[in-house]
Chains A and B, each alone.
Chain A
Amino acid sequence: MECVFGLVGDGFAVVAADSSAVHSILVHKSDEDKVMLLDSHKLLGASGEAGDRAQFTEYIQKNVHLYQFRNGIPLTTAAAANFTRGELATALRKNPYSVNILLAGYDKDIGPSLYYIDYIATLHKIEKGAFGYGSYFCLSMMDRHYHSGMSLEEAIDLVDKCIMEIRSRLVIAPPNFVIKIVDKDGAREYAWRKSIKSD
């Protein structure tokens, strides 16, 4: 019942994900961070098989770092998205990863952008998107309330609306969510939405 969703606002992009790590009927932890900081101005929200998610996202993160070390400049969001898609596509017919990804980034000349990359390496630039069972609720909420150029307050309000829908309408809904944003000042954690405190 994992869920990742995100949207693009006015000069920023926000990605939210649930934070439960589940195996069959057991919840291992409920504060697992599934939105990774790819570099100073990129976020990678991933959902899917636990091992693949951790391994693949770390692999992408390290390769993005390597590019920056080698070339002295960071990758653009589009380049990082295409690199990620390329890795998924190459592995698809050999040893496929079961990871769905939302990649958000901020580039100085382009502004914020959000990329949808599904587990079979379909890449598309989007304004709003979601993965998982929660997507059935999130996408509908966003279709109703989203407009381009939303302010941060409006966007977080919409994210909270989506989280409320998931909590109330999804059976075995994840209790906790993490919200991260990326704008001209960089990528950072914005807030947690916890209904179960864990130690």
Chain B
Amino acid sequence: MSIFEYNGSALVAMVGKNCFAIASDRRLGVQLQTIATDFQRVYKIHDKLYVGLSGLATDAQTLHQRLVFRHKLYQLREERDMKPETFASLVSALLYEKRFGPYFCQPVIAGLGDDDVPFICTMDCLGAKELAKDFVVSGTASESLYGACESMYKPNMEPDELFETISQALLASVDRDCLSGWGGYVLLVTPTEVQEKILKGRMD
């Protein structure tokens, strides 16, 4: 079994009209065994920037700690929050530093940039950035997620519709993947508020 499939994960981020949503599954497993059903994969960097880390859980936790550290240093020096594009470059650089002994993670970055324009991107474990205008996916359920998102996505969705779409795409995809699931966690960010919701899907 691949090291990326050791813990199991599913992540998706979608862009709507002046808003974005990022969603993950909640399973923490060790190969076939489920350890917990409330594992958090989406981390806050600042009010308008979130990063989801799929792949090996230990590397996701280490990488999250390093990213929070780097962002706090940035805040001290620059006296402001990082823009999502800058943060994406930071993540890419941190990952490529370990080119010949990488972190086994695939990050999904989602944020509201200047003028509250939504930004999403994903990258592989070596830091190869992939910007997208519509949606990005990551994790063991990524192939199912691509299919579900491609068929369900529409541009310029309002927050409520975006929430519904991302939730349905996530639940449909993790139901086809044995290593991810046990519910979902959706974060919807608009310029004025942040909504966190837990989804109940097939609990297996």
- Residues of A bordering B, CB below 8 Å: 85, 89, 92-93, 116, 118, 120-124, 126, 129, 135-136, 139
Is there an interface contact between B58 and A89, defined as CB atoms closer than 8 Å?
yes
A137–B50 CA distance with the chains assembled, in angstroms:
38
Shortest Cβ gap from B202 to chain A (Å): 17
Q: Which listed residue, A89, A121, A126, A136, touches B35 by the CB 8 Å rule? A: A126
The answer to whether the Cβ of B30 comes within 8 Å of any Cβ in the partner chain is: yes
B61, closest chain A residue (CB): A123
| Complex contacts, B56 vs chain A, CB 8 Å | 120
- Check if A89 sits within 8 Å of B28, measured CB to CB: no
Question: Contact between A85 and B61 (Cβ–Cβ < 8 Å)?
Answer: yes
Roughly how many angstroms separate A135 CA and B30 CA in the complex, as a whole number? 12
How far apart sit A116 and B57, CA to CA, in the bound complex (Å)? 13
Whether the pair B30, A118 counts as a contact (CB closer than 8 A) is yes
Asked if B68 is at the interface (CB within 8 A of a chain A CB), the reply is no
**Is B86 among interface residues, defined by CB-CB distance under 8 A?**
no
* Cross-chain contact A116 with B36 (CB below 8 angstroms): yes
Query: How far, in whole Å, are A92 and B35 apart by their CA atoms in the complex?
Result: 21
- Beyond A93-B101, A122-B7, A124-B28, whether A129 also contacts B35 by CB under 8 A is yes
Say which residue of A120, A122, A136, A139 sits within 8 Å of B28 (CB atoms): A122
List 19 A-B pairs, Cβ < 8 Å. Answer: A89-B58, A89-B61, A92-B58, A93-B101, A116-B35, A120-B58, A121-B58, A121-B61, A121-B62, A122-B28, A122-B58, A122-B61, A123-B58, A123-B61, A124-B35, A124-B39, A126-B35, A129-B35, A139-B33
A124: chain B residues at CB < 8 Å are 28, 35-36, 39, 57
Closest to A88 in B: B58
Residues of B within 8 A of A89 (CB): 58, 61-62
The contact string, 1 if C-beta is below 8 Å from chain A, for chain B 45-86, is 000000000001110011000000000000000000000000
Residue interface mask B13-39, A partner, CB < 8 A = 1: 000000000000000101001011001
Residues of B near A85 (CB, < 8 A) are 61
Q: How many residues of B contact A (CB 8 A)?
A: 13
How far is it, in angstroms, between the C-alpha of A96 and the C-alpha of B170 when the chains are bound?
35
Measured between alpha carbons, how far is A46 from B39 in the docked complex, in Å? Answer: 22
* Cβ contact of B33, chosen from A92, A120, A135, cutoff 8 A: A135
Q: Which residues of A contact B35 (CB under 8 A)?
A: 116, 124, 126, 129
Q: Which residue of B lies closest to A93 (CB)?
A: B101
Report the minimum CB–CB distance from B33 to chain A (whole Å): 7
For the complex, what is the distance from the CA of A152 to the CA of B62, rounded to whole Å? 36
Nearest CB of chain B from residue A134's CB, rounded to whole Å: 12
Q: Which residues of A contact B30 (CB under 8 A)?
A: 118
CA distance A85 to B61 in the complex (A): 10
Question: Contact check: which of B33, B36, B61, B101 meets A126 at CB < 8 Å?
Answer: B36
Residues of A within 8 A of B28 (CB): 122, 124
Shortest beta-carbon distance from B42 to chain A in Å: 15
Interface centre among A89, A116, A121, A122 (most CB of B within 10 A): A122
Q: How far is the CB of B145 from chain A (nearest CB, A)?
A: 23
Q: Which of B75-108 contact A (CB under 8 A)?
A: 101
19 additional A-B pairs beyond A118-B58, A124-B57, A126-B36, beta carbons within 8 Å, are A89-B58, A89-B61, A92-B58, A116-B36, A118-B30, A120-B58, A121-B58, A121-B61, A122-B7, A122-B28, A122-B57, A122-B58, A123-B58, A124-B28, A124-B35, A124-B36, A126-B35, A135-B33, A139-B33
Contacts of A118 in B (CB 8 A): 30, 58
Residue of A nearest to B56 (CB): A120
Residue of A118, A129, A136 ringed by the most chain B CB atoms within 10 A: A118
B118 to chain A, nearest CB (A): 31
